[in-house]
Structure formats: C-alpha cells, structure tokens
Amino acid sequence: MKKELLKKGVMVVSIITMVSPILMTGCSKDDEILSPAKQSIHKKSGGTGTDHGYFWTLYYEGGSASISFPNANTYAGNFAISYSGCNDVVGGKGWNPGSARIINYNIGALSGSYNFVGVYGWTTNPLIEYYVAEKGSMTGGTSFGTVSSDGHTYSCYKSQRVNAPSIIGTATFWQYKDTWGGAPTGSNQKITMSNHINNWKSKGGQGFGSYNYQVLAIEAWGGKSGYINATVW
C-alpha cells in the first residue's frame, strides 16, 4: 500500500522551492511559511521533476494533496505539502542520484497526522529501498541492532518485499529502515548518511547498490490529513 505508490510513477503532484541553510530557525510559521492559498500560485501537476537544482516527487491516492515551494526564491530546498483524507501520500525534495552526503534539514511546520518524516531513497543492483526516520517511525521485519549518528541512536530493521511495486516495476527487494523519530521542528538538523549506509553495508546483509533518488520526504497513509513545510540542503 503505502510504498506501492511513489514507485509507480502514477499521478504525482509536485513543486519545488529554494531555502538556505539558515532557514527557519527560531521563526514562527507566519515569519517564513506562506498560507496554502498563497502557495497555490506555485502549484503544478506532474510526476517527478527538478526545480532550482533539486529533484522532487509527490504521489497521493484518495483524498487530495498538493506540493508547493513557497520560499523557492530565497531558500534552495523548501517545499510544502498539504494533504487531506489520503489513503497514501508520499513526497518530498532532494537529489537524483543520492549519495553518502550530509543532509541538512529544517522542519519548519508539521501538523495533522503522518507516519514518517525523514530520508527516503532507492538503490539499484541490488534494488534496495531505504528510510531514515527523523519523525514518526519505520519499523517491522528483522532488527539488526542500532547505529549512532549525529547524537542519536537509531534502531535498525530490514524486511523483504515480494513481488511489490518498485522504481523498476514489480520486483522483490529489501528495505532498510533506521528509526530515531524525535527530531524537533523549527531548528536546523542533520543526517550523516554515510553512517547509515556504512552500517547497512556491514550489518544489513543484503548489500547496497547504485544510488537512485534520495529525498527528504513525508509519508502518511490510512486516511490521514496534515501539512508540512520543510527545507533540505
């Protein structure tokens, strides 16, 4: 269900903006975040794309959802997603291809219900789907310990999807899922991806392939409604 959406490349709505590393620290929503009505002038439909040097994607099933980039001309990684009554919605902004980079982010606003906010990406050869949960959680499957990174201890899980939708079509593949889940809103944070990737390579047991896309994303399923305004750099 939830992860069978982004991969299909079906009906995606998205938009991108620019936000600088000093983004919303200590700022109120009114200081930095435009209302949905104001954001609507930036909305566009599509599947995936690039804007201001960033890759973006959004998919939703049921209900309604939109992504906009209200501060694109000021901060080079900002995006906002509103969703209502969605069976599943997943989207965000980042890079294609990904890498073992340090990902900086700021969750300026987050309201309503969601399952996951963090890094979401794929590799090929082998085909791997991976999550680093900064808020919410991605668990289930087999635990393979913990990894310490950026002052946090993440619980590490892996699970196999069999004949499931993926970026290359229906396939069998493994997921890696690291969960911390306690990130605050309104302050600059970072994720040192090399720590997670090196741990997946050494302890995950399923390999790690060539990078495909890698985004700071939100995912919500089960009829949830909510809003996020965040920036990645």
Residues marked active site are found at: 129, 219
Cross-strand pairs, 105: 189, 232
CA distances from 104 to 10, 78, 94, 158, 182 (A): 29, 12, 11, 25, 16
- What length does the chain have? 233
Alpha-carbon radius of gyration of the chain: 16
Contacts of 15 (CB under 8 A, 6+ apart): 42, 43, 44, 51, 56, 66, 67, 68, 69, 79
